[in-house]
Amino acid sequence: MPAPDLPAGTTGNEAPGELAEAGVYPTAAEGFEHGLVALAMGQAYWLVFSNAGYRLLVDPPALALVREQLACFDRESTGWPPPPVSDHPASPRTERFTPLVWAMVVVAIYSVQTGSPGVWEEAGALDSQAVFDQGEWWRVVTALFLHADLGHVLANAVSGFFVFSAVTSTIGRLRGWLLLALAAAAGNLAVAALNYPGPYRSIGASTAVFAGLGLLTGRAVRVIRGENGQLRWRTVSVPLAAGVTLLGLFGAGGLHTDVMAHATGFVAGLVLGASAASARPITDPAILQ
């Protein structure tokens, strides 16, 4: 105890006679901590300094029971307190380099594209009939790097920079880009299939941008799990609603907006993000209610 006049015990170099030693501890703090075990049992204790350390003394009749409870306390305190839980990002800093390179490549391709109007679009645009009838599967990827006008390419380059930075910082550079490529290509393939056998042509990186949004949403949905590993609708609905809201705000309006391509890109990213992320149990009762 911190004060020598407390009835529960004393500390110092002297103690009443005929006391039994329950333990010896290197510091006063450890001695006080273990003395609380005796105190919780309703037993007085004395903490006396000696050359061997701080001796925890108790009345002899209580010695066996106090030692038993001290052993239980030491056993249950092993590894306590646990290390803090933290969700370390894939990168210690926000990954901006590769998204910036991607944006510069897209703008550079557009500048080359304007030098030969119509040629690049004819060879690389997403064309449902060319993909399925003629086997030109590369179009699901090349269409992501072609744009109709300067406003189109700048909007996609800027939005893609921020979305892709979030993806690569959260999921990792290599893994993030791999999932982005798969989700964007899958989104283009899906929208082409939905329009086939009718004619359908599309260009632009917006499918990839919304695929990135879907990846972030899918990952957020996946990591939120209850203590028993089951998804809780209350917690799942928060990131899912946020992602769908952004899709509706930025992907469903404006002139010449390919809403279906945005939606298929988002859904492809959502599925890949949820399947590729590792579930992390959340046990906070305030979140799981």
Domains of the chain: 9-76 (3.30.70), 97-288 (1.20.1540.10)
Overall size of the chain counted in residues: 289
- pLDDT winner (highest mean) among 8-12, 90-94, 103-107, 250-254: 103-107
70, 23 contact by CB (below 8 A): yes
Specify which residues 46 forms β-bridges with.
Answer: 10, 57
Range in 3-7, 121-125, 200-204 the model is least confident about: 3-7
Which pLDDT does position 82 carry in this prediction? 67
Q: In 3-state terms, what secondary structure has residue 112? A: helix
Confidence label for 1 from pLDDT (cuts 50, 70 and 90):
very low
Q: Which two tokens stand for residue 104?
A: 């510069």
Select from 218, 213, 219 the least CA-distant residue to 266.
Answer: 213
Which amino acid, one-letter code, is at 84? P
The C-alpha atoms of residue 53 and residue 58 are separated, in whole angstroms, by 16
pLDDT tens readout for residues 164-209: 998 998 888 999 999 999 999 999 999 999 999 999 999 989 899 9
pTM above 0.85, yes or no: no
Q: In the predicted model, what is the mean pLDDT of the chain? A: 80
Q: How far apart are CA 137 and CA 134, in angstroms?
A: 9
Per-residue pLDDT reduced to its tens digit, 37-87: 999 999 999 999 989 899 999 999 999 999 999 999 988 888 776 666 554
Kindly give, in sequence order, each residue whose CB lies less than 8 Å from that of residue 23, ignoring residues fewer than 6 positions away.
31, 34, 55, 56, 67, 70
